[in-house]
Amino acid sequence: MRLVLGRYDGAVRQATDALTSARAAGRIFARDATFWGGDEARQRSVANRLAWLDVASMMRSRVDELQRFAEQVRADGFADAVLLGMGGSSLAPEVLRRSFGARDGWPRLHVLDTTDPATIAGVARAIDPARTLVFVSSKSGTTIEPNCLYEFFADVVRRSKGDAAGENFVAVTDPGTQLEQLARERGFRHVFTNPPDIGGRYSALSYFGLAPAAVMGIDLAQPLDRGIAGAEAAGSGGDALQLGAALGALALAGRNKVTFVVAPPIDSFGLWVEQLIAESTGKLGRGIVPVAGEQLGAPERYGGDRVFVQLRVNGATPPEHDAFIETATAAGHPAIVIDLADAFDLGREFFRWEFAVAVAGQVLGINPFDEPNVQESKDNTNRVLGEFESSGQLDVQGVDESPEPVVFDAPGRVAGQPLGQAVGGLLAQLRSGDYFAITAYVPSTESTDGAFEDMRAAVRDATGVATTLGYGPRFLHSTGQLHKGGPPQGVFLQVTMADEPDVVIPGRPYTFGQLKRAQAIGDFESLAKHGRPVLRVHLGPHLDDGMAELLGAVRASVQRRAELR
């Protein structure tokens, strides 16, 4: 690891020295919860979230068990595997899926961490239910998204296999959950019970990350051995401690937008580390804002709140990444450069960043293992669904039939402005040090991804602020904590759409599209409650047309802003 800190070198060195004097590494590995301060209740909570420190060693002893499980799945003729989960239950498997893919002759993994009907229906069409293994992954066993997805896929598989459907399902959960009980009652092929004292976002090297990886045919010994080596290095106060000191000290100095520049084939790493950083540090009005997937621009297009993190992969690092870091540091932006030998080094990076973020939390004076604001949007969703069940009305009447985008400037209130004017008013609220967050309750496709990337680049280039993108409801289990509990620097554009055709959830009084809409409305209400500037744009029935109109409005708004300077 190489740090290029410029004028921040002294602050980072001071933070590192303070941590060393406090015997940080030794206390963390001794599971000394007092390291993170707070009252007795907080320390008890922290003490129940530290098993990630040695989970790589524990799982290394279970590689043979996982390998036997995966070999049997392969021998039984399964062609696909579908993972149903959210947040920490899905993001590490998604990174591994994109980084490694399936070996020839092993099942293809599909990760479903959404309630989007089009995405769910697309996966259902792509698989043969009789030859598909379904992971139901949930630490609590009560998370609404995987539970609804399970009911859908249980019905799909049951229609192919009847009473033998249970052999197509696997549960990954904590001991004693409702999910474990259901899995045993319904005859699931296997139940993996994870250590309960690991928080979801720290569970990459546990059963949550490794059981799906095994089914893809990934050699688990290699990432685990590298994770163990990373833990041993951290125990002696190595790079991971220094990384945590740097993240914390830079954030305190105003450089709290950590922007990732990641080489293929591991560029999806940003999805995982985004949750780890945002949910761990974004609370009590403090926090580090992770920025992943943002297009590279000229150094002068970035504000003075950035720190760049480059992850290089031997033989696969684009030259433009190296050139960008060189020009960015020359312009005075601090940077952290990490070299990986290959994708198996993700095992080391999972641990390095877990340890570093835990350290950064201590530097910032927060508890990096709780998520006090996540429940808000869940509660709002449940309330919105309850009101829908009693009244039959979910959203403002007529919005789904409108041929033009409908703009909301407050919960349940249609703005009295056209789209362009409303978007311009939102962007006018951006100030130096802010970030622009797009929260998108639409399918992630090549078209929508590209349009949102262009919106982000346009806003960044015109204003200098950091930009983020989260697809809902995935981001609610990732950056949602930061949005509500972190520093009041976010300006939010929420994008919703008419979900036609919709997908029924067996046994529920609402569809996936209605659940997704309730989640969007609930999050909008939560952001408004916290005083965050937020605008909701509900697209018409034709997604691509609505996206083009929204992109045009954003571009026109930033152009007008540039002309007024």
Among 500, 420, 365, residue whose Cα is nearest residue 38 = 365
Answer with the residue of higher pLDDT: 541 or 319: 319
- Return d(Cα 546, Cα 83) in angstroms, integer: 31
Amino acid 540: pLDDT: 78
Q: pLDDT for 104-122, tens place per residue?
A: 999 999 999 999 999 999 9
Q: Check the CA dihedral 127-129-130-131 and report its sign.
A: positive
Q: What is the mean pLDDT of residues 247-267?
A: 98
Percent of the chain with pLDDT over 70: 100
What digits encode the pLDDT tens for the residues 16-42? Answer: 999 999 999 999 999 999 999 999 999
Q: Please name the residues in contact with 423: beta carbons below 8 A apart, sequence gap of 6 or more.
A: 493, 535, 537, 550, 553, 554, 557
pLDDT of residue 237: 86
Compute the distance between CA of residue 136 and CA of residue 263 in angstroms, rounded to an integer: 31
Give me the pLDDT at residue 102, please: 79
Task: Specify the CATH number for 2-34+227-364; select among 1.10.274.30, 2.40.420.20, 3.40.50.970, 3.40.50.10490.
Answer: 3.40.50.10490
Provide the pLDDT confidence category of residue 486 given band limits of 50, 70 and 90: very high
Q: Give the tokens for residue 7.
A: 């004028």
Q: How far apart are CA 327 and CA 343, in angstroms?
A: 27
The mean pLDDT value of the chain amounts to: 97
Q: What is the mean pLDDT of residues 37-63?
A: 97
Please give the pLDDT value at position 428: 97
pLDDT per position as a tens digit, 426-457: 999 999 999 999 999 999 999 999 999 999 99
Tell me if the bond preceding 501 is cis, omega within 30° of 0: yes
Range 55-218 has CATH code 3.40.50.10490? yes
- Which tens digit of pLDDT belongs to each residue from 508-519? 999 999 999 999
Mean pLDDT of 476-485: 97
Q: What is the pLDDT of residues 171-226, one digit of tens each?
A: 999 999 999 999 999 999 999 999 999 999 999 999 999 999 999 999 999 999 99
Asked whether this chain's domains 2-34+227-364 and 55-218 adopt the same fold, the reply is yes
pLDDT of residue 563: 76
Q: Give the pLDDT of residue 564.
A: 73
Q: Which residue has the tokens 């990886």?
A: 213
Number of continuous H segments (helices) and E segments (strands) in the chain: 21, 16
| Bridge partner residues of 45 (DSSP) | none
Domain ranges of the chain: 2-34+227-364, 55-218, 374-564
Amino acid in position 231: A
- Average pLDDT of the residues in 346-370: 99
Q: In the prediction, which pLDDT does 562 show?
A: 76
Where in 91-141 does DSSP place strands (E)? Answer: 108-112, 132-137
Please tell me the pTM assigned to this model.
0.97
CATH 3.40.50.10490 fits 374-564, yes or no: yes
